[in-house]
Amino acid sequence: MKLVQAVLFSCLAFPMLAPSHARPLNAVGACPQGASMQSAGGIYQGNAQAMKNVADFARRHAVATQQADAWIHALTGKSGINRLYRKGAQQVVVVTLCNPTDCEDNRAYIAYEPETGVYGGSIYEGSQVREFGPTPEDRMYPESVASAIICAQNLDWGTK
């Protein structure tokens, strides 16, 4: 499985200038390479809290975020709707949430590929970015979730 390095991801996907508007947590639309981001349906419909009912996601999330802030680990931050990234047959669920006391500068993008169980995410704290993989020690995550996270955050950052 090919991995994406955190430094490369951060440089490509994270604009460094603060926007003059509040960014959404749930923008949908077209993504590069014929992919798309849409509202998730079925068992993934809802917000971050709904993902606690998806057993495999909940287990992977609990392990990967055990050292993260409580709003990330417990999925209690302010959350947009869960989204589904589609590229051909690949489907990746994207959960976006933010610190309820500072949503603009503290947010997390978490991606989960149901078919394979692949999991990873990015936490944004001001201009700092931390990526995480399937365990707290992983600082990289699989490429299969990278495109979904990049698409979601680019849609959010580009929406006014």
Distances (CA, A) of 37 to 78, 115, 135, 142: 20, 17, 26, 19
Q: How far is 135 from 64, CA to CA, in rounded Å? A: 4
Mean pLDDT of 115-143: 82
- CATH code of residue 112: 3.40.1420.10
Residue 139: pLDDT band with limits 50, 70, 90: low
pLDDT digits (tens, 9 = 90+) for 2-21: 444 333 343 344 443 344 44
What's the domain range around 120?
3-14+24-158
Least confident of 10-14, 134-138, 156-160: 10-14
Q: How far is 34 from 120, CA to CA, in rounded Å? A: 22
pLDDT digits (tens, 9 = 90+) for 112-123: 999 999 999 999
Domains of the chain: total: 1
Asked whether residue 137 is assigned to any structural domain, the reply reads yes
Asked whether residue 19 is assigned to any structural domain, the reply reads no
In the chain, count of helices (H) and strands (E)?
4, 10
Asked whether residue 115 is assigned to any structural domain, the reply reads yes
Mean pLDDT of 127-144: 76
